[in-house]
Structure 1
Amino acid sequence: MNITPLVWIITIAVTIAFFVYEFFVHVRKPHEPTIGESARWSAFYIGLALLFGVGIGAVSGWTYGGEYFAGYLTEKALSIDNLFVFLIVMTGFAVPRIYQQKVLMIGIVIALIMRGGFIALGATLIENFSWIFYLFGALLLFLAYRQAFAHGDSDPANGRFMRFVRRILPVSDEYNGDRLTVARDGKRYFTPMFLVIIAIGFVDLIFAVDSIPAIYGLTEEAYIVFTANAFALMGLRQLYFLIGGLLQRLVYLAQGLAVILAFIGVKLVMHALHVNELSFINGGEPLLWVPEIPIWFSLVFIGATIAVATVASLMKTRRDDRRDALDPAAPSSDTLTTDTRTTETQKEHS
């Protein structure tokens, strides 16, 4: 792709404009969005993302268009997992519903900034060191294992990181609207809202480490990486309120993401072998017999994996609901689902 500096400037400016509009029109005044409002804006941002992908395919060719759609699907799935952790954090800190929009908005902006930094770093590394694909591939395979099999429990409000923050900062016990600090008895205190923002930022950092190597396994075009991430994050705030209850029912989302990350990890290692320059592998010569996985196959595989994980999750929770209806004394399926998903996700990202 031939992306000029002017196109980059316009793209970044438009992205910033969308988030500024979101803040002043929807977030500045604390309120809980209605289902209708959330549905309309979610559909708008998803439609805009799809239209942009069609534009890339029409202007730059459908190879790049396919890379964008594969990247967008992967980043959207990872963003929904990110959303679940946001839900866990805000539940742990008991953030009032009317202020959750502001927390989400700040978290999404932090995520975009962090991912932008990692995108620039990744582009530089790929341009100068072809062996970085081995490192990215190994990292994704490790993350896939952790995503699928990590277990444990952790309280996001009282974990080791937040206990450390409380030791070094004076923190009040109660919220004061959506303010981050409050003055009491001549002393300035941070509110729990400030701790929530710190926790969200920490989660964003972990997810940036997950997502950027994943999408660089699908495309080496920094412009596609950035726009796929930007569109995946746009509308995430509205999606949170639209599918908040559904998030607890996606019990196999972690396993689906693990499959996707493992697939991209293998794809990266195969690509690294195909362009190999490491002297201790095949004498520093590329292994041209190693096949490259085509982007159309990646797109189909990622889409099918997300679909299977979603359908399997809904089928399981529906069976559990029927079982609970027949045996009211049994633990609630929603409770079991939330507890299991919460402990696994908190361990993965704490």
Structure 2
Amino acid sequence: MGELHLGFEITALVVLCVILVADLLIVLKRPHLPSMKECAAWIGFYVGLALVFALVLLFVGGMKPASEFVTGWLLEYSLSIDNLFVFIIIMAKFGVPRKYQQEALMVGIIIALIARGLFILAGSVIIEHFTAVFYVFGIFLLWTAWKQAFEEEDDGSDSFIMRTVRKVFPVSDEYEGNKLRTVVDGKKVFTPMLLVFITLGITDVMFALDSIPAIFGVTRNPFLVFTANIFALMGLRQLYFLLGGLLERLAYLHYGIAAILGFIGVKLLIHAIHEAPLDFIPGFDLLKKIPEVPIWLSLAFIVVAMGTAVLVSIVAANRAETREVDEGAPTER
């Protein structure tokens, strides 16, 4: 066991695409602000679907693909949560009406899947012919971990690309429902929704540059890499509305994400040492004795890192609120 049949992979991808298309059609036909109950139900559905898929993988391919999928899914889900912070900034900057934010997010997710699919194909080909690329991936993730921990993220709304788009395409100042085009003074122009779609797309490509090398540290199977990304992005739209203001309380979440990226970066470097040893370096044989990081350890680290970051953030936020209440309370005489 361990190998997945091509027929199974094609069937699974078709089913997942049908689900995504159905979700998109629902959003387009009935744009609305989802309730907390609706968001929780959809998130539960997608998480349950991912767990069912893991069980199917266990039955069809055995423990190896199932464990790699679950670890990759949790890794991508953790990194995708970081997207939500930037999504909130983008929506606020462009003043997207809450009623139409679902559609904007869904289009962003579709763009993300296309971009990640291309990156996965490219990454698979590179890895197949140049295993030393794991050194590059590892170093890149360590650098990304440092940026995640100590630098602010860019939402892309003021980038050179966005400034160019504003110059090339006439854009109106007001939204007109969820339309991309409108008429102003007899001229057809684009609505700000176009800028929102492009900004979300740029942001998703930026995040894909981080997440794709990371998941290749968990599995080299392109099918598992892509399905883990699909399931991680499924429900992200509802999670955006469910968490909402809670994200502002998770002040230390980026440290947890940085720890995960750093851990996977080290894991990739260790893997590179075994797969593409640099024997011309004196004493390199000593590095070969470092054991490869097992899947179970990667899974445990991801869960602990995210859990710790969330817990510390919530405790710190509660203490800050208590302090503000105490300082604002009138003193007794």
Please classify the TM superposition score into its range, dividing by the shorter chain length: over 0.9
SS at match of 2:289: coil
Aligned-pair CA distance for 1:165 = 2.1
Aligned ranges 1:113-128 → 2 under 5 Å: 113-128=114-129
Aligned ranges 1:78-157 → 2 under 5 Å: 78-151=79-152, 157=157
Unaligned runs of 5+ in 1: 330-350
CA contact (8 A) 1:278 1:284 kept: yes
In structure 2, the residue matched to 1:274 is 274
Q: What is the distance in 2 between the residues matched to 1:155 and 1:239?
A: 19
In structure 1, the residue matched to 2:212 is 212
Q: What is the distance in 2 between the residues matched to 1:8 and 1:61?
A: 15
In structure 1, the residue matched to 2:326 is 326
Aligned-pair CA distance for 1:31 = 0.7
Q: What is the distance in 1 between the residues matched to 2:310 and 2:55?
A: 25
Aligned ranges 1:1-350 → 2 under 5 Å: 1-151=2-152, 157-278=157-278, 280-281=280-281, 288-328=288-328
Q: What is the distance in 1 between the residues matched to 2:143 and 2:121?
A: 23
Q: 1:263 to 1:6 in 2, by over 3 A?
A: same
Counterpart amino acid of 1:29?
A: R
CA contact (8 A) 2:4 2:61 kept: no
CA contact (8 A) 1:3 1:223 kept: no
Q: 1:221 to 1:281 in 2, by over 3 A?
A: farther
Of 228-237 and 282-291, more deviation after overlay is shown by: 282-291
Deviations along 1:1-48, whole A, 9 cap, x unmatched?
433332232122112111111122244221111111111111111111
CA contact (8 A) 1:270 1:292 kept: yes
Counterpart amino acid of 2:214?
A: A
Deviations along 1:208-267, whole A, 9 cap, x unmatched?
101000000111111211111111111111111111121111111111100000000000
Q: 1:130 to 1:156 in 2, by over 3 A?
A: closer
Q: What is the distance in 2 between the residues matched to 1:45 and 1:277?
A: 41
Aligned-pair CA distance for 1:73 = 0.9
In structure 2, the residue matched to 1:333 is none
Aligned residues: 328
Counterpart amino acid of 1:325?
A: V
Q: What is the distance in 2 between the residues matched to 1:221 and 1:272?
A: 17
CA contact (8 A) 2:124 2:222 kept: yes
Q: What is the distance in 2 between the residues matched to 1:314 and 1:285?
A: 45
RMSD: 2.1
Q: What is the distance in 2 between the residues matched to 1:21 and 1:116?
A: 20
Q: What is the distance in 2 between the residues matched to 1:20 and 1:178?
A: 18
Counterpart amino acid of 1:222?
A: P
TM-score, scaled to structure 2: 0.92
Aligned-pair CA distance for 1:275 = 1.5
SS at match of 1:293: coil
Q: What is the distance in 1 between the residues matched to 2:316 and 2:66?
A: 35
Of 196-205 and 218-227, more deviation after overlay is shown by: 218-227
TM-score, scaled to structure 1: 0.88
Unaligned runs of 5+ in 2: none
Of 108-117 and 59-68, more deviation after overlay is shown by: 59-68
Q: 1:94 to 1:51 in 2, by over 3 A?
A: same
Counterpart amino acid of 1:88?
A: I
Deviations along 1:44-93, whole A, 9 cap, x unmatched?
11111122123223432223322211111110011111122111100110
Q: What is the distance in 1 between the residues matched to 2:15 and 2:78?
A: 23
CA contact (8 A) 1:182 1:188 kept: yes
Q: What is the distance in 2 between the residues matched to 1:253 and 1:287?
A: 32
Of 297-306 and 54-63, more deviation after overlay is shown by: 54-63
CA contact (8 A) 1:130 1:277 kept: no
Q: What is the distance in 1 between the residues matched to 2:322 and 2:241?
A: 26
Q: 1:26 to 1:165 in 2, by over 3 A?
A: closer
Aligned-pair CA distance for 1:159 = 4.8
Q: What is the distance in 1 between the residues matched to 2:100 and 2:291?
A: 50
Q: 1:17 to 1:169 in 2, by over 3 A?
A: same
